[in-house]
C-alpha cells in the first residue's frame, strides 16, 4: 500500500498540502509535484517523466515495508495495531538541509504553525516555483538578516537558523556515511530530538526513533515508561511513525 495523504499528516515534512480530496501538492527543494489519487492504490504523479525517479525515491515507494511489518514482535499487540492502522505510510527521503531547518523551526510549534513559518521563509528568499516558492539554498538563507528571519514568526529560533545556514553554506551538510546525532548537534538549536528527526526523515536511518511529547506519552502509557525502541531493531524509526500517527488519529476520533 501507498498512502501519501497519510504521509502528509505524519509530521515528517511541512510542504505537502491537500488541495482537494484526491489531490496533493508536494514541494521538495526546488521541485513540485501534483499527486492525484485515482482510486484504490492507484496514483498519478503529474510531473515530467525525467523527475519521476526523484519522486519515487522521495516517497521510498520500493522500501521494505512489508518486511518491516512482519518483523514486529508478535507479543507487541499495541505496535501491531499501530502498524495495521497506518499501512501505506512511508519514511520520506528528504533533502538534509531543508529537513534540518524545518525541524529547528518545529520546536514547540504545532504542525500548521510550522508549515506557515516554512512558507514565509520560502517566500522571503526562495525562487518562484509552481505558484509558490522553492526552499531556500543555504547561501540564500545565510544572507538574510535577523530582522528578516524574525518577520517569518521564527521567534527565538531565528538566530539558530541564521547560524546554522552560515555553517552549512560554508561546510555543506554531513555525508550519509558520516552523519550521526552528535554530528548534527553541532548546529545551533539542534538537540537530540531534532537530530534524530533529521537522521530518520532525511538520511533515512530507519533504526532512529525520535521521541517527542506524543511518543513519550506512548512510552509512558503503553510500555510502562520504558522505551521499546532499543529492542525494535532496524525499523525502530518506522515503528515510531506508526505509533505517532496512530496516536494522532485516535485523538481526532
Q: Of 178, 201, 224, which residue is a domain's last?
A: 201
Answer yes or no: do 153 and 212 share one domain.
Answer: no
Is there a domain that residue 47 lies in?
no
Answer yes or no: do 141 and 231 share one domain.
Answer: no
Answer yes or no: do 180 and 222 share one domain.
Answer: no
Answer yes or no: do 131 and 220 share one domain.
Answer: no
CB atoms within 10 A of CB 202: 25
**Which set of grid coordinates corresponds to residue 150?**
524574525
Is there a domain that residue 9 lies in?
no
Residue 36 CA, distance from chain mean position: 21
**Which set of grid coordinates corresponds to residue 228?**
521499546
Q: Of 185, 201, 217, which residue is a domain's last?
A: 201
**pTM of this prediction?**
0.95
Q: What is the largest CA-CA distance in the chain?
A: 54
Task: Give the angle 214-57-34 at the CA atoms, nearest 5°.
Answer: 85
| DSSP secondary structure of the chain | ---HHHHHTTTS-S-EEEEETTEEEEEETTEEEEEEEEETTEEEEES-GGGHHHHHHHTTTTS-HHHHHHTS-TT-HHHHHHHHHTTT-------HHHHHHHHHHTTT--HHHHHHHHHHHHHHHSPEETTEEPPPPHHHHHTS-HHHHHTTT-TTHHHHHHHHHHHHHHH-PPPTTT--HHHHTTSTT--HHHHHHHHHHTS--TT-----HHHHHHHHHHSTT--SGGGSGGGHHHHHHHHHHHHHHHHH-
Is there a domain that residue 145 lies in?
yes
Answer yes or no: do 108 and 177 share one domain.
Answer: yes
Answer yes or no: do 212 and 184 share one domain.
Answer: no
Is there a domain that residue 20 lies in?
no
- CA–CA dist 213, 228 (Å, integer): 16
Is there a domain that residue 154 lies in?
yes
Is there a domain that residue 127 lies in?
yes
Answer yes or no: do 139 and 75 share one domain.
Answer: no
Parallel, antiparallel or unpaired: strands 23-28 and 16-20: antiparallel
- CA–CA dist 190, 182 (Å, integer): 10
Of the candidates 93, 4, 12, the residue with the CA atom closest to the CA atom of residue 41: 4
Answer yes or no: do 160 and 253 share one domain.
Answer: no
Placement of cell 495495531 in the chain: 81
| Confidence (pLDDT) at 129 | 86
Number of domains forming the structure of the chain = 2
| Confidence (pLDDT) at 130 | 77
Answer yes or no: do 196 and 232 share one domain.
Answer: no
Q: Of 201, 218, 241, which residue is a domain's last?
A: 201
Answer yes or no: do 217 and 137 share one domain.
Answer: no
Q: Can you give the pLDDT of all 253 residues of the chain as single tens digits? A: 899 999 999 999 999 999 988 999 999 999 999 999 998 889 999 999 999 999 999 999 999 999 999 999 999 999 999 999 999 999 999 999 999 999 999 998 889 999 999 999 999 999 998 778 999 999 999 999 999 999 999 999 999 999 999 999 999 999 999 999 999 999 999 999 999 999 999 999 999 999 999 999 999 999 999 999 999 999 999 999 999 999 988 766 4
Is there a domain that residue 225 lies in?
yes
Placement of cell 527521503 in the chain: 93
Is there a domain that residue 39 lies in?
no
| Confidence (pLDDT) at 134 | 96
Give 94's strand partners.
Answer: none
Range of 185's domain?
96-201
- CA–CA dist 86, 242 (Å, integer): 6
Answer yes or no: do 144 and 237 share one domain.
Answer: no
The CATH number assigned to the domain holding 116 equals 1.10.340.30
Amino acid at each position: 500500500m501507498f498512502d501519501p495523504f497519510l504521509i502528509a499528516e505524519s509530521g515528517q515534512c511541512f510542504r505537502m498540502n491537500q488541495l482537494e480530496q484526491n489531490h496533493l501538492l508536494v514541494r521538495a527543494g526546488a521541485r513540485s509535484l501534483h499527486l492525484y489519487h485515482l482510486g484504490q492504490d492507484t496514483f498519478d504523479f503529474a510531473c515530467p517523466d525525467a523527475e519521476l525517479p526523484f519522486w519515487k525515491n522521495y516517497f521510498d515507494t520500493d522500501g521494505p515495508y512489508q518486511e518491516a511489518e512482519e518483523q514486529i514482535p508478535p507479543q507487541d499487540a499495541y505496535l501491531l495495531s499501530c502498524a495495521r492502522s497506518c499501512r501505506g505510510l512511508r519514511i520520506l527521503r528528504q533533502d538534509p538541509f531543508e529537513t534540518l531547518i524545518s525541524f529547528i523551526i518545529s520546536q514547540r510549534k504545532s504542525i500548521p504553525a510550522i508549515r506557515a513559518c516554512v512558507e514565509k521563509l520560502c517566500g522571503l528568499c526562495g525562487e518562484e516555483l509552481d505558484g509558490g516558492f522553492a526552499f531556500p539554498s543555504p547561501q540564500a538563507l545565510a544572507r538574510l538578516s535577523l530582522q528578516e528571519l524574525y518577520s517569518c514568526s521564527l521567534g527565538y529560533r531565528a538566530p539558530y537558523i541564521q547560524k546554522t545556514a552560515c555553517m552549512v553554506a560554508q561546510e555543506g551538510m554531513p555525508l550519509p556515511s558520516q552523519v550521526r546525532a552528535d554530528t548534527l548537534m553541532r548546529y545551533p538549536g539542534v538537540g537530540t530530538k531534532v537530530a534524530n528527526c533529521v537522521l530518520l526523515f532525511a538520511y533515512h536511518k530507519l533504526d532512529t526513533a525520535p521521541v517527542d511529547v506524543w511518543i513519550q506519552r506512548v512510552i509512558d502509557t503503553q510500555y510502562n515508561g520504558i522505551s521499546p525502541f532499543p529492542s525494535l531493531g532496524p525499523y525502530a524509526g518506522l515503528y515510531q511513525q506508526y505509533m505517532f500517527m496512530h496516536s494522532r488519529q485516535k485523538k481526532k476520533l
